[in-house]
Amino acid sequence: DANATEEDDVEFDMGREMANGLRVATAWSNEEKEVARKYQRIGIWPALGKLPKTDKPDEVLRNAGRILGYLKEQGYCESFEISEPEASPKGGFRFRSFVREPANLETTRSLMRSNDNFAPRYDQRILQAFFADCGFGSSFSDSIAGGLQVSEVTPAPMPNGILSEWSLVPDPEAGL
């Protein structure tokens, strides 16, 4: 083949651990190599990139939006919303986040009904780690909801996501 490279003539090693803990280093056909390249990154998401550390509520929430946007791009959820920050005592702030149709919504619904409101909290834990990096301690509570706005006057839309009520307070030891 005129387009063959030196790599085509040597053993091909994807560098992946295979079943039974054995490393595969074998001569693969070009077709097998292409299939292996196609599937080698399944389950591995690209890096988001470094987010700036800040203690300004608007910037913290803008970067939280970048994190949730990244999760949306990776197929974790259909969409998300973040409220405006509201000042709270001790120099902190409160806000709400809503994640529509997270990948684990049915599991979350089931667990919240059957286990005293226990919920798998994937996106929340990622946000907590980011908030800690910015020097904030954080706490939150979750509920199943149909959107960011909660109103007792108008009927709620069909519950299709997780509404998290956040409280952040400055904590100089949060990122340690």
Distance CA 8, CA 76 (A): 37
pTM for this prediction: 0.68
Closest CA relative to residue 101, chosen from 163, 162, 157, 165? 162
Question: Would you state the pLDDT for residue 115?
Answer: 62
User: What does the pLDDT look like over 1-44, one tens digit per residue?
Assistant: 455 444 443 333 444 334 334 444 456 677 777 766 665 655 67
Q: What is the 3-state secondary structure (H, E, C) of 89-139?
A: HHHCEEEEEEEECCCCHHHHHHHHHHCCCCCCCHHHHHHHHHHHHCCEEEE
Query: Which whole number is the average pLDDT over 76-93?
Result: 92
pLDDT for residue 174 is more than 70: yes
pLDDT for residue 122 is more than 60: yes
- 33-42, 56-65, 93-102, 118-127: the lowest-pLDDT one: 33-42
